[in-house]
Every structure is written in structure tokens, then in C-alpha cells.
A and B are shown apart, each in its own frame.
Chain A
Amino acid sequence: MTVKLGVPSKGRLMEKTFDWFGARGVTLTRTGSEREYAGAVEGVEGVDLVLLSAGEIPRELAAGRIHLGVTGNDLIQEKLVQWDQKVEPLVPLGFGQANLIVAVPQCWVDVDTLDDLDGAAAAFRARHGFRMRIATKYHRLVRDYLRRGGVADYQLVDSQGATEGTVKNLTAEAIADITSTGETLRANHLKILDEPPILESQATLFRSRLAEKSDADRTVLRALIERLGV
């Protein structure tokens, strides 16, 4: 057995992760051809790099198939039931910051709080005969948040991408999505509710609480964690 480190397989998230580890003397590199998802770790012995979609890393950590993984805590908390019993956040990496928020059309001048959203949802359902639709891919987090906020008469509709466009396309009345600068929201004539975000997220290094470890693995993990200074 070796210690397996799961890292996002593409894009800025991968580059920034490589930079973060590199700055701490652990060099991560992709090997093979441009399209092949293989990688190598230099600077510590006995660690395998596993390149994965960021969205799959929570599941792999929870299944114990990787020992460490880099992903956003939004994905961890959305995808894992009782996440804190399955993974432990070791260190926030200082990039990939984004908030999960609820946004409504800018023209809804009467809606700025969850209280408003609930009031508008009641009137909407009475008038249109169906529950107000909120488009999101973060079903569990959003449902929890709205339940705690006492919002009724809404329904979640699944949107796996281009969520900001759903309102204009009349497939949803409001959205709940990740945003970092809010620019895409503004460009789509949406505004963020004046409430604390559902979740503040950033790229984080997680440790699986469930992955099996030999004594040798434990030594390697300790050395790696010490090297990373976390």
C-alpha cells in the first residue's frame, strides 16, 4: 500500500494545488501525455498522486480509496452525509474561495431577505399554482438552509451548469449557486439575498477518516503532513 493523494485533474484548481504543494517542497506533476490522467509526487517517498474530478474527491475520501484529497468544502458538505465523521479538514489552501448563495432577479425590489423570499413564494404559489422554483446543484445544503430559514412553498430544480441563465429561460424563479465575485450574477440581472451565505467555501486539504493505513502508511502520512507544515 501507498498513501494516495487525490487532486483535481484539471484547470486552475489543479494548477493552484500544484503551486501550493510546490511552495512547501512537495512537487506534484502530471506525467505522460497531455490527456492522460497520471501524475507523480517528488519530495516525499511513498505518496501516489491520483488525479480526479474535484466533484469525485469527496466520495473517494469517504470510501477510503484515497487518504488525502483537495476539494472545496462546498462539495464535501453537499455530497457527504455527516461529513465530519468521514473526513477531517487539515488546512484551507487559500484559493478557490466562493460563497454558496441564494440569488433572485434584480427587479425583485421587494425581496432581500429569506423572510421576503418566503412571502414572495407564498404569493407566487397562490398565483401560478406551483411552488416557486429554485435552480441549484447543491440540493442538500440549500434545502437545509431554506428549512432553517423557514421558507415554504418552494421547490428545487436541478441545474448542473449555467444556473444563472435559468431565470431568464423561465425554468426557475431564483437560483442557489457558488459565486466568487458575483459578476456572472450581475450580468444575468440577479442579486444576492442580503443574508449570510449558505456556505463559505474554499479549496481545502482533507484527510479521510476511513482509509485503511499500514504502519508504513502512517509514517509516510506523518512525514507528508510535517513537510506541508499543517
Chain B
Amino acid sequence: MKPDTQRCNCAENNISKTGYRALFLFFKLLEAARTRDEILELFSNDPLLKNDKSKDTVTITVNTLKNAGCIISRPNQRTKNKYVLKSHPFNLQFSVNNIYALQSLRESLITFEDLDLLIYLNNFYFKIAKLAPDEDTKNLLIYKHPLALINFDILNELIIYSKLKKQISICYDSPQNKKENLDFVPEYLTFENDKLYVWGYCKKYNNFAFLRVDKIKRVNCVQIFSNTCETVYKKPEAIVTYKLKGYSALMYTENNNETIMRADTDKGYCLTIKSRVVNKFNFFQKILSYGTDCVIVSPESIRQELLVHLNSIKTGYKNNEK
């Protein structure tokens, strides 16, 4: 606000006092919810409004704001007798088309499977959601993304403990065993098929597992004095070489455990990829989704395991035909 003397001079000149009062209250409600007494106190501290001591003045000013399109909740016990400004029409706003474009932008960036990018983008969208023209589009910016069901406090803890490689106890809502407590050493996070997974050693099942982050309900405790994971367990690892062609090659991106060994754009199977397989289930899921675009080159044991899976899929269909 301008200094008192300057403001008084302006007032003497050419302003609308009732308009000034309405906007003064608007800005004060933007800062925080206020009781009627608090508003009167604020009026009394303003050189232009110091004589506005009537409670009716507050009611009338609030009504004026409401008539202009502000949504202000009535003071009641739930709001601790405060006026709460819920929305207002005085913002520069996105158009509905702007919102759809922002949403398309996020959908296009999700396909890069870059978790940090998605987290930063979601935080950014959360902050700019107040510029949305209505509640529906505001909710679209805040909630319409694949991480919407994830508790960010839990995610932050997982990120920290995966860097420290500390053993933690988590409450996991598993589809098979319902809620169970698991001792887990998180190592890294991946974002695949629109879902966020944390990878690490699971003590109970004695395997290197990947868990869906949205199914982790709580981090119970951390073993402060646990050793780093390398000394606690040995990761089962298979080095697999496979080749890709067609659509799958076109859409392929490297990740934590995979590198492109060769890229020959003129050949059928144009990409040769070396994969460090720490969880076969996840690996075969990916290989199956490549369909006929993929051929496993080595080792032979993995090729044979894939054939077993293919056979079980066929058998399932045949049994259900009968």
C-alpha cells in the first residue's frame, strides 16, 4: 500500500471510497480468512477507512463482493466465525482450451517416463491451478495425472531412503495378502506403464522386488544402523541381450538397467539392447508387450523361459475355449 499521506491526498482527489473499501477487504481476505472484528480492526488501521466502525459496513462490503462474483462463506463455527474467500472473478484466467492444452502437454511429457519431470510438472500445475476458470478444470490440473493416488510424504521418504539405502519397515496393501508390514531396502524408483514402482530388497520374501508406490500406505520406521544393501543381500542378476524393431524400437528409451549396444537404422531389428535383469517377472512383462518386435538373443535359458510363458498363455486360451 502507498504511504498514508499520499493515500489521503489521492482520496481527496478522485477515488471511489466504497470501491476502495470493497477491494481493500478483498485483498485482506485473499491473505487470510477474517472475523468481522478483525476486519473492523483492519479498517481502523487504514487512513481512508478508519471511520468505518459499523458492523453493517462489513456485511454490506462482503455482499458487494459476493454480488460481483466472489464466493465467500458465511462465518460459522466451522470457519471459526471467519469470512473465507473461496473464489473470485478478478484474476486473469486460463481459457478452457488453455487448460486442455496444458493437460495434453502433461500427457505428452508422461510418455518420456521421467519421474522427476513429472513430479516438478505436477507441483507447478498445482500452483497455477488457481488460474483455472472453474472447479472442474482446476481439479483437472491438480488431480488428472498418474501420480494422483500417491502420498507425497511417503514418496519423499522413499526417495531419501533409496539414496541412503536404509532398511525401512513399510505397510504395504498387497492385492494378495492385504495390508502387511514388510522390511524393505529401497534402491530406486521407476515409472512404467503409467505407474510408479519402488525397487529394492524385500526381506520377508528374500527377493529383489518392485512395489507399487500407491500401495504403500505408511513408512513405519527406519533402521538407522542398518548396513548398506550391497552388504546385506546379493541381487539376482542376469545379463540379457535382446533386439527390437518396428514400433517398439521407435518408442524405446533406455533406463536404469538397460543400454543400447547398437543402433542400425537400416536393419530390421535395428536396436540391440543389453539388459541387467534383476526381476524376471518385470522383464518378461516388458518383453511380452513388445510382441513380435522383439527377439531375445541370449542367454538361452531366458529364451526358454519366455517360451514357457508363451505356452502357458496359449494353454489358458485353449482351456477356456473348451
Partners in one complex: no
